[in-house]
Amino acid sequence: MLRAGLGRRSCLCGGGLWRSPRPAAASGSASPRCPGALSGASASPRNGGGARGEGAPPAGASNVKPLDAVKILDLTRVLAGPFATMILGDLGAEVIKVERPGAGDDTRAWGPPFAGTESVYFLSVNRNKKSIAINMKDSKGAKLIRELAAVSDVFVENYIPGKLAEMGLGYEDIKKIAPHIVYCSITGYGQTGPMVQRGGYDSIAAAVSGLMHITGHEDGEPVRPGVAMTDLATGLYTYGAIMAGLLQRHKTGKGLHIDCNLLSSQVACLTHVAANYLNCKIEAKRWGTAHGSIVPYQAFKTKDGYIVVGAGNDQQFVTVCKILNLPEVSKDSRYRTNTLRVQNRKELIDILSTRFSEKATIEWLQLFEGSGVPYGPINNMQQVFSDPQVLHNGLVMEMNHPTAGKIAVPGPGVRYSEFAVSHPKPPPLVGQHTVEILKGMLGYEDDAIEELLHTGAVAQHEVR
């Protein structure tokens, strides 16, 4: 039989910076955390892979990570949420990914391509996580979510507002049993308002927010960015908001609710384009690779490819003209300031484009080297991942996956002096850690786990 209450289970949770004093547990609710006890997150050795170009932690560093012992209960799917929780996992958090038994995260079916039978899309944003397969529509499954929330620090979800509340898993519900919880909701449009019940996908939010309106060739159709930038921006906002929530809890001793959404994230990222309209009523337009307020700042076609050059000030423009052997252009009164260059954009770009077309990309790269002018080629993926700086920065993480074998994914874009984001755990199989989590986090015994498995409330994936 299932144990009657959490209060009789062992206190398995950690203490430390992120652990604020908890109010005494109410009857029948989770027992308070044991100060100073180590959690499974900090006790478990990390294994499974490493980053190319990134070795051991810097000399003198202990490789203690900022989120060691912090537990994240992750109910998110697809990209924005998983991207955020993956970053938290990179920083040492123990991320418990809750998935539907069988199908799991939607992106497990997104392909081709597949690595073996695993979706490469899924593999790209789910390292450093454990998977527990729970049927939340089953009352026993919903009860497990509440129990896990009671012993977690952060609860992250991306359901349509009100959906989890119907299951007794909304913020107000979880707050009653876990007043310490940092509860983060990710939606398409927010928790309230006229569009609140709409589902949110990146491309729709990119359209509604105006991002597609400003993306594409100047005289062409609106274009979706090559990766889901609205989802990724929301993931970064979510990661930062959760870190702020943990700091806030450390100061106040109380949890809180965080509202992240795709629309708000993307509108906030419109920055100067939005400000141009808000302050000057200038309607935005598409510029292709160019910039509406800086000239030259765009891609130029060469004899065999493209080079992007940006002259952010007048001196850099003079240098560009010198490299292109066009000294008379830099002295032309029509182009002496950036404001004048913007006003006379077409004539100037025609002149520069003609000159750039006369040499191969590698020749221009050599000529611009050391000039102080920002420049670079437009690389394909093969060129990106053979680029010396990309390799030097350790931006490829390799892992040994239980069914796909050796896999490689892009690693985090930040380095730290006192610890290394290394030895990542491979993305999990659906329900790979169900039994481990039920035993280790909740103290369930074998007979109770067998009953949950038998009734379909949970599922365990057996790695062969």
Point out the residues that are catalytic: 231
Among 293, 300, 342, 338, CA closest to 317: 338
Degrees, nearest 5: CA angle 267-182-9: 155
CA distance 210 to 212: 6
Closest CA to 241 of 106, 417, 80: 80
Instruction: Give Cα separations from 335 to 52, 101, 289, 324 (angstroms).
Output: 45, 64, 20, 15
* Residue 398, phi then psi, degrees to nearest 5: -110, 140
Contacts of 69 (CB under 8 A, 6+ apart): 14, 15, 16, 18, 19, 38, 39, 41, 42, 92, 94
Phi (first) and psi of residue 186, to 5 degrees: -115, 120
CA distance linking residue 282 with residue 64, whole number of Å: 50
**DSSP assignment of 206-274:** HHHTTTGGGSS-TTS-----SS-HHHHHHHHHHHHHHHHHHHHHHHHS--EEEEEEHHHHHHHTTHHHH
What residues contact residue 157 under an 8 Å CB cut-off, 6+ apart? 75, 76, 81, 164, 169, 183, 184, 185, 186
Contact 75, 103 (CB under 8 A): no
Question: Do 251 and 274 meet the contact criterion of CB atoms below 8 Å apart?
Answer: no
Tokens of 150: 């009671």
- For residues 157 and 155, give the distance between their C-alpha atoms in angstroms, rounded to a whole number: 7
